[in-house]
């Protein structure tokens, strides 16, 4: 009989059946563990499937007849198709999930009252100070400047801040350059704003900017703004072309629009953190990719007729009897000068580093249009 040296790792024991017991136990334990693990995977799969809600509520301020609302709809449709209906998103326009109060939308997303949203940086700025960046007067001179921020390092910094604030940001869209309108007179210079009652929304930055320009700002929701304009309770407001045109603000007395491009609000596609965590990684990627695609399409819609020569969409508004005023550079400069102090004060509030980064990114933007 030849002598076999013990295999490495095999511990020889003295007697027959007893000798194999520890190995057997070990094997059994392994089998039990593997079974448990497999069961766990299956179970967690079932749990995940069960925790998918029948409907996910997506909040927007304006309905699908506006580029913004349409962006939400595109996102919802792409996700429904690509998840074969596993993730069923319904658009709730008019911020109806928070009774129309758009400045409460962000908190409701964090709390899970709202599952997801396509929201304006302005509306979330009371809760997320960094978002006031986009409302700094005369920071962004053109579309390339917006893109330089949202699609560069500044956009990534803002997304990191949103993550820390408790939501999952996925993609950028656009509301647009906010132009000032009113029922009383053409605006060429800050002096023309004197005494005008202007509806604004969002953070105190808007109140301070308008006050610095000599106007009387009144903060109210978009839902309240339209009746207030119709009744003459306020004289004017500021919003992008896409809102002005789709809401037909010329019908509520807004006869004068000045294209001053003082601020532009991007839109952000976000999801509640728990909802995000409840989905499989594959589904999360579908939702993220769909948000990015919807954001690109939405931005194209929001810029339609504004990036083409002569801005045909504003011409269409003019055809409704609205006077469109384009500022001379020296006129615009007067507005810049009058708001410089507010800019400096809010730069400190927002965080000088983020604003410095933004200023640098804009100065280095590749294409000016």
Distance separating alpha carbons of residues 94 and 89, to the nearest angstrom: 16
Rg, the chain, Cα only? 28
Min dist. Cβ of residue 200 to ligand X2X (A): 8
Site for ligand X2X in 319-338 (CB under 6 A): none
Q: Which is nearer to ligand X2X, 286 or 317 (CB)?
A: 317
Closest-by-Cβ residue to ligand X2X is: 222
User: How many CA atoms within 13 Å lie on the side-chain side of 335?
Assistant: 27
Residue 201 binds to ligand X2X (criterion: CB under 6 A): yes
Mask of contacts with ligand X2X, 167-186, x by CB under 6 A? --------x-----------
3-state SS class at 240: coil
Site for ligand X2X in 234-273 (CB under 6 A): 239, 243, 265
CB atoms inside a 10 Å sphere around CB 130: 22
Min dist. Cβ of residue 147 to ligand X2X (A): 20
Distance separating alpha carbons of residues 276 and 273, to the nearest angstrom: 5
Q: Which is nearer to ligand X2X, 117 or 350 (CB)?
A: 117
Residue 59 binds to ligand X2X (criterion: CB under 6 A): no
Min dist. Cβ of residue 182 to ligand X2X (A): 15
Stretch near ligand X2X under the rule CB under 6 A, chosen from 44-52, 119-127, 140-148, 286-294: 119-127
Distance separating alpha carbons of residues 244 and 253, to the nearest angstrom: 12
User: How many CA atoms within 13 Å lie on the side-chain side of 17?
Assistant: 0
Q: What sign has the CA pseudo-torsion 188, 190, 192, 198?
A: positive
Residue 135 binds to ligand X2X (criterion: CB under 6 A): no
Distances, alpha carbon 196 to alpha carbons 137, 193, 253, 342, in Å: 19, 6, 14, 19
Record the tokens describing residue 254, joined without a space: 């807004």
Distance separating alpha carbons of residues 170 and 50, to the nearest angstrom: 24
Per CB under 6 A, the list member of 222, 244, 314, 335 interacting with ligand X2X is: 222
Distances, alpha carbon 235 to alpha carbons 199, 201, 218, 221, 254, in Å: 8, 15, 10, 15, 8
Q: Which is nearer to ligand X2X, 174 or 265 (CB)?
A: 265
Site for ligand X2X in 38-57 (CB under 6 A): none
Per CB under 6 A, the list member of 59, 83, 103, 120 interacting with ligand X2X is: 120
Which strand (E) or helix (H) includes residue 261?
strand 256-272
Residue 103 binds to ligand X2X (criterion: CB under 6 A): no
Q: Which is nearer to ligand X2X, 56 or 177 (CB)?
A: 177
Min dist. Cβ of residue 63 to ligand X2X (A): 11
Distance separating alpha carbons of residues 347 and 342, to the nearest angstrom: 8
Contact residues for ligand X2X, defined by CB under 6 A: 61-62, 102, 120, 122-123, 175, 201, 222, 239, 243, 265
């Amino acid at each position: 009989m030849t002598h076999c040296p013990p295999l490495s790792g095999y511990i020889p024991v003295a007697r027959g059946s007893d000798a194999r017991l520890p190995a057997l136990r070990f094997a059994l334990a392994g089998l039990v563990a593997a079974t448990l693990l497999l069961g766990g995977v299956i179970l967690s799969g079932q749990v995940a499937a069960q925790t998918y809600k029948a409907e996910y509520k997506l909040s927007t301020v304006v309905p699908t007849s506006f580029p913004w609302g349409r962006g939400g709809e595109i996102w919802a449709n792409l996700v429904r198709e690509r998840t074969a209906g596993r993730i069923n998103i319904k658009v709730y326009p008019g911020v109806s999930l928070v009774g129309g109060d758009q400045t409460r939308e962000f908190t409701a997303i964090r709390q899970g009252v709202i599952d997801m949203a396509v929201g304006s940086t302005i509306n979330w700025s009371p809760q997320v100070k960094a978002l006031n960046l986009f409302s700094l007067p005369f920071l962004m001179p053109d579309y390339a400047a917006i893109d330089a921020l949202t699609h560069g390092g500044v956009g990534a910094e803002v997304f990191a801040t949103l993550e820390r604030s408790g939501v999952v940001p996925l993609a950028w869209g656009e509301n647009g350059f906010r132009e000032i309108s009113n029922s009383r007179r053409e605006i060429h210079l800050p002096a023309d704003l004197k005494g005008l009652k202007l509806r604004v929304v969002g953070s105190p930055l808007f109140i301070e900017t308008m006050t610095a320009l000599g106007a009387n700002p009144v903060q109210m929701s978009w839902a309240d703004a339209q009746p207030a304009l119709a009744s003459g309770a306020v004289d004017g407001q500021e919003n992008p072309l896409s809102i002005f045109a789709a809401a037909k603000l010329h019908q509520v007395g807004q006869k004068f629009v000045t294209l001053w491009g003082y601020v532009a609000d991007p839109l952000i596609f976000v999801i509640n953190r728990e909802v995000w965590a409840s989905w499989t990684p594959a589904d999360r990627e579908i939702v993220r990719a769909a948000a990015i695609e919807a954001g690109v399409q939405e931005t194209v819609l929001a810029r339609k007729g504004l990036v083409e020569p002569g801005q045909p969409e504003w011409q269409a508004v003019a055809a409704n009897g609205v006077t469109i005023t384009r500022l001379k550079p020296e006129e615009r400069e007067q507005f810049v000068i009058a708001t410089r102090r507010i800019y400096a004060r809010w730069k400190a509030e927002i965080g000088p580093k983020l604003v410095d980064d933004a200023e640098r990114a804009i100065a280095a933007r590749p294409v000016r249009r």
